[in-house]
Amino acid sequence: MTLPARKFKNPSARHNYQGHACSIVSVGSYVPARILTNADLEKMVDTSDEWILSRTGIKERRIASKYQSTSDLATQAALRAMSRAKISPDDIDLIILATITPDMPFPSTACAVQRKIGAFNAAAFDVQAACSGFIYGLEIGQQFIMSRTYETVLVIGAEKLSSIVNWKDRNTCVLFGDGAGAAILRNRAGAHGLMTACMRADGRLTDLLCVPAGGSACPPSHETVNAGLHFLRMDGKETFKKAVTAMHSVANEALRRCELDISQIKCVIPHQANRRIIDAVAERLGAKPEQLFVNLEKYGNTSAASVAIALDEAVQSGCIQRGDLVLMVVFGAGLTWAAAVIEW
């Protein structure tokens, strides 16, 4: 179905540029079968279902098996998106994979996915923007499509956060889960698509959320492992405050670029980290509860996979129909944050 194109005065809304659009033709997601509930966590650390639910909104999360790596989760999500788009592996020109839990430091997890799906015509690389990675990936993919360099781009957000979580640290282990989401971007003349994406970063606040050791700054050693420096660390309170301000501001910037008011948005898909962050951002934006898509209670925070999985679930459940306007807004380590407006 082709809908009449909207006209935007602002040139940074690149939608339908010279008659072409970067269209998200399909999405797909995958979460591992194993469910870890708050009750399970009560047996592992000094916590309670009441604390986790009231402070975060999370009821359960999915945990990958020890035989599943991030590329395995990503591959399942990619195959679902490819099947819905009715494309073959040979059609894919580029694979962009956003993750903070790569299969290994190098080569890229995108190359591992390329091998597993057999997309041997594609270039492939990883993007590291933590929880903002999927929107960073969409924006990079859009640039290649609008420049007419590539016709078909596979963008994936995938994480096995269970592999970097300290299961003895109640401050963090209750928050995260594993999963993957994927989107197929294509150049479509006269079609609808990704209207704008705003990406932001502040490298002064790297320490708020990081894995301190294992890289070139602090190579892995017995000492780093004994000190637990290979685990994810977060200053939750500070991160919370920054997240609310940054997500509100970048979401507004994306809306402004597209000359849209929040009331015109059918579905707001925020990063699924904490229900209180989501509600605070929604309130500041003036978004109504019925505009919000939230699946945090089932999966916890899946970082780069978070909004990718949510977008897929919103589409498959019928919350988003073709032609609807969607606002996605994310925030994560780096710090990084981003927002995208899509005409679905």
CB of 274 to ligand UT7, least distance (A): 4
Residue 47 interacts with ligand UT7 (CB under 6 A): yes or no: yes
Is the Cβ of residue 121 or residue 245 nearer to ligand UT7 in the bound state? 245
Q: Which of 131, 135, 195, 278 binds ligand UT7 (CB under 6 A)?
A: 131
Do residues 110 and 125 touch, judged by C-beta distance below 8 A?
A: yes
Segment 301 to 320, residues that bind ligand UT7, using CB under 6 A = 301
Q: Which of 219, 237, 289, 318 binds ligand UT7 (CB under 6 A)?
A: 237
DSSP string, 205-274: GGGGEE--SSSSSS---HHHHHTTTTS-EE-HHHHHHHHHHHHHHHHHHHHHHTT--GGG-SEEEE-SS-
Q: Which residues contact 36 (CB under 8 A, 6 or more apart)?
A: 60, 61, 62, 63, 177
Residue 245 interacts with ligand UT7 (CB under 6 A): yes or no: no
Q: Which residues contact 31 (CB under 8 A, 6 or more apart)?
A: 62, 73, 177, 178, 179, 180, 299, 309
Q: Which residues contact 166 (CB under 8 A, 6 or more apart)?
A: 172, 173, 228, 231, 232
- Strand (E) or helix (H) holding 118: none
Is the Cβ of residue 46 or residue 290 nearer to ligand UT7 in the bound state? 46
Residue 54 interacts with ligand UT7 (CB under 6 A): yes or no: no
Segment 69 to 128, residues that bind ligand UT7, using CB under 6 A = none
Q: What is the phi-psi region of residue 190: left when phi exceeds 0, alpha when psi lies from -120 to 50, beta otherwise? A: left
Amino acid code (one letter) for 138: L
Pick the stretch among 65-73, 74-82, 273-281, 287-295 that binds ligand UT7 (CB under 6 A): 273-281
Amino acid code (one letter) for 299: Y
**Structure-block tokens of residue 182:** 């994927």
Determine whether 10 is an active site residue: no
Is the Cβ of residue 32 or residue 177 nearer to ligand UT7 in the bound state? 177
Report cis status (omega within 30 of 0) of the bond before 335: yes
Determine whether 131 is an active site residue: yes
- Catalytic residue, chosen from 20, 192, 248, 271, is 271
Pick the stretch among 79-87, 110-118, 168-176, 308-316 that binds ligand UT7 (CB under 6 A): 168-176
- Catalytic residue, chosen from 22, 111, 131, 198, is 131
Segment 182 to 221, residues that bind ligand UT7, using CB under 6 A = 209
Pick the stretch among 32-40, 119-127, 233-241, 258-266 that binds ligand UT7 (CB under 6 A): 233-241
Do residues 101 and 159 touch, judged by C-beta distance below 8 A?
A: yes
Is the Cβ of residue 97 or residue 100 nearer to ligand UT7 in the bound state? 100
CA–CA distance, 135 with 113 (Å, rounded to integer): 19
Q: Which of 108, 239, 291, 336 binds ligand UT7 (CB under 6 A)?
A: 239
Q: 325 to each of 154, 258, 343, how far by Cα in Å?
A: 21, 11, 5
Determine whether 166 is an active site residue: no
List of residues contacting ligand UT7 (CB under 6 A): 47, 51-52, 55-56, 131, 170-171, 174, 209, 236-237, 239-240, 243, 273-274, 277, 301, 331-332
Catalytic residues: 131, 271, 301
